Amino acid sequence: MSERSALLRRIRVWVVVFVVCLVLSGLTAFPLVHELRWTQSLLAHTPVGDWLPGLSAWIDRVRDGLDRADAEYPFLLYGTDWLAFAHLVIAVAFYGVLRDPVRNVWVVEFGMIACAGIIPLALICGPVRGIPFWWSVIDMSFGVFGVIPLSVVRRKIKTLEAMGVPAGVPVTV
């Protein structure tokens, strides 16, 4: 296998891993009510709830809010459906990176900008919405952990570009 083919294969593996995580993250936004019931039950029936009482109290509060919204104002949960959809749409954009990484490096850079944007969003909107700081830190970790594979992919794409792979020509292995 040539160095170019090996590099292309590594780029694709990193992109596929990122896309799978993005899709899974998006899909979990659809069944929030059920997920919170499961999480609350897990915390109540394992020592984790005793070890992290603040987490248990927060999950109880969020579940109560979602149960009320689901029962009285189910249209509010439509917003999380759009959140899930956005994750899936962004994941589809990465198909271009799989086909032609050099030409579509902008998708990776867009993803890196989006990851960076999570931090100010969490720091500004978290307190406005009454989100505990520790939960905002969890939210910010998605940006931090998301930018890591994207940075690796971008660096590898720039290496591929330097090898003389012309932009606009689909790359095959």
What is the model's pTM?
Answer: 0.85
How many helices (H) and strands (E) are present in the chain, helices listed first?
Answer: 8, 0
pLDDT in tens, 122-160: 999 999 999 999 999 999 999 999 999 999 999 999 999
Burial class (CB in 10 A: 0-12, 13-18, 19+), 11: buried
**Element of type H or E holding 1:** none
Place of tokens 């992919």: 153
Q: Is 56 helix (H, G, I), strand (E, B) or coil?
A: helix
CA neighbor of 79 nearest in space, from 90, 69, 71: 69
Tell me: the pLDDT tens digits for 37-89? 999 999 999 999 899 999 999 999 999 999 999 999 999 999 999 999 999 99
